[in-house]
Amino acid sequence: MDRQLMLFACFLLLVSSTQAIGVKYCDKKKNYAVTIQQVKIIPDPVVTGKPATFNISAVTGQAVYGGKVVINVAYFGVPVHQETRDVCEEVSCPIAAGDFVLSHTQTLPSFTPPGSYTLKMTMEDKNNEELTCFSFNFKIGFHSLVSDS
Ligand SMILES: *[C@@H]1O[C@H](CO)[C@@H](O)[C@H](O)[C@H]1NC(C)=O
């Protein structure tokens, strides 16, 4: 391989590995119908009292016509936030088999302390059949007075 190309490939690998957010499935042995490709957190770190968006790139093996998404946020294992949303609010329905992006936006309460949090997401279809269940970590930064102006 061309040396420059190889350097470029190494660079890409480095960049993507530093940005990748590790996703853990709730049940490693289960074959979920929906698998997660990538999680994007905007902004990262999340700012307390301001909207945070979680863009979840996923692949579904079957078409999804509806259902719900259950979100649990925990701080050092202590649940701080739970909510249930209609799947079709987070992604346009029906979801055809293949790639899709689920975009979840929420504002965490302004008293949420900065630190490391875990977000667990469960997706169910209309028949309450679990499509996927996974978790990942995200950070909440200190409230910046500068960005408030
Ligand atoms: C997040 O997903 C939404 C909906 O698909 C899209 O409009 C937005 O551009 C995405 N943001 C980023 C940073 O990928």
Cα 6 to ligand 1 centre (Å)? 31
Distance CA 103, CA 56 (A): 6
In the β-sheet with 34-42, what is the strand arrangement from edge to edge? Answer: 34-42, 51-60, 98-107
Q: Which two tokens stand for residue 118?
A: 């875990």
The CATH class that applies to domain 22-141 reads mainly beta
Query: The pTM is what?
Result: 0.81
Distance CA 75, CA 58 (A): 25
pLDDT in tens, 4-21: 777 766 666 555 444 578
User: Atom 1 of ligand 1 has which residue's CA nearest to it?
Assistant: 55
Q: Provide the residue ranges of all domains of the chain, joining segments of one domain with +.
A: 22-141
> What is the Cβ-side half-sphere exposure of residue 37, based on CA atoms within 13 angstroms?
10
pLDDT in tens, 79-107: 988 999 999 999 999 999 999 999 999 98
42 CA: nearest ligand 1 atom: 13
Pocket test for ligand 1, best of 56, 92, 101 (most atoms within 8 A of CB): 101
Question: Is pLDDT above 70 for 122?
Answer: yes
